[in-house]
Amino acid sequence: MNVCVIGTGFVGVVSAAVFSSFGNSVTGLDIDPAKIEKLKEGIVPFYEPGLKHLLIEQQSHGTLRFTTDYKDAISNAEVIIVAVGTPSSKEGKVELKYVHSAAQSLAPFIQKGAIIVIKSTVPPGTLDTFQKIVEQYSSHIDFHMASVPEFLREGTAVEDILHPDRVVIGASEEIIFDKLITLHAPLNAPVVKLSPESAQMSKYAANAYLATRITFINQLADLCEHNGADIKDVIHAMGFDKRIGHHYWYPGLGYGGSCFPKDVKELAAYSRSVGLNDNLLNHLDRFNEERIPKFLKKYGETVGGWKGKKVAILGLAFKPHTDDMRDAPSIKVIPWLLEQGATVTGFDPKSLEAVPYFIKQHPHATYTDDLSAAVKDADVMMILIEWPEIIKYDFSMVRIKNKKQWIIDTRNQLDQQVIIAAGYDYVGVGR
């Protein structure tokens, strides 16, 4: 099958590489020449385990190529996958300018009977607008529309797309379902056939629910700190209820990354646009935004104030196995500590290439990919992200005798008793 993927960001590159590995002829399309040239050389603009090998392999097999030429990419495409960015506005509303631009650019070259698949996260009603734009700029209107949302997790995206829990296809014609089911058949995953509107809402609903779980367990953790309970024990006990489960309970500083904050904000803004101003969605974002400042003030009281303290921030990305710093705890924590007079060193094994723009804004902190250098002589070591390099590190090696030192474990990943035995003051979340 001839497939074009518009947009070579995280979702686009992963999708293009995997669909080409199934024997399809895939063209990745982007308006950024520098990005396209790097991809041709096998250089992935972000860190994602397993992706670089797949990218190079499929290009060498001739099943995957990249271009900036819309006519070249679109003219022979049976399926056109739109995977461009949909950022949020200051008000939280989804910004669709890149989606609409793609519609206008592809319209003159679309072939008869082609299926345009919106993979970008968009609100219900977007397909209608997209279709009208294509019809306005196309010489014919014999094409089809569908919504196939992605459910990829950064750090495990290749594994996620190869072994998905489900493939959600939103369409209104059987011919579209049949074609897209064939395209996704090698995944051997359950296919959920929905209307486009239900498919789009399913993506927002999944992310909003997961954000709700994180917010819920955070609030329970806050209660535990007032009554002697341990949130890890609470999670263990309630997880035996089959309706709840032990999975996906992450007490800490809140949710971050490129999806949860954006999608919650967008769904909340959408709810307000239809008159639902005081629902749960509108409170989730506020709870999450307030959490880091609240905890930093509390931690400051614990360590006797931040001024003059040497602080090691361990983990700059928003989660392990990615270099993505979008809405990562570090981009809020580091500036706050600097303003309080702390000396800050940030460590991350993969994010240093993504740090330069951040360094320009906060040049008074230092950054390293050497964990031992980061924690040397530190008064406070604050674990923000559970990279294996951090969790497996022997902190007893850098313990300074007769010096008061704290380890703040915002992910509850370290063995509390081991850290205390090494001579540190241990601070967890909800413990």
Q: How far apart are CA 73 and CA 28, in angstroms?
A: 8
**Chain position carrying tokens 């497939």:** 3
* Helix/strand/coil for 204: helix
Q: Which residues pair with 118 in a beta bridge?
A: 82, 147
Of the candidates 332, 343, 388, 339, the one whose C-alpha atom is nearest the C-alpha of residue 365 is: 343
Of the candidates 386, 350, 394, 389, the one whose C-alpha atom is nearest the C-alpha of residue 368 is: 350
Angle, vertex CA 76, rays to CA 73 and CA 77, nearest 5: 75
Q: How far apart are CA 430 and CA 227, in angstroms?
A: 10
Sequence-ordered alpha helix ranges (H) in 228-279: 231-238, 260-273
The answer to whether 103 touches 65, Cβ cutoff 8 Å, is no
The answer to whether 117 touches 79, Cβ cutoff 8 Å, is yes
Question: How far does Cα 405 stand from its chain's mean position?
Answer: 33
Residue 354 is given by DSSP the state: G
Q: Give how far Cα 318 sits from Cα of 47, 159, 161, 264, 397, Å.
A: 13, 19, 20, 17, 27
Q: How far apart are CA 349 and CA 282, in angstroms?
A: 35
Q: How far apart are CA 134 and CA 143, in angstroms?
A: 9
The catalytic site residues sit at 259
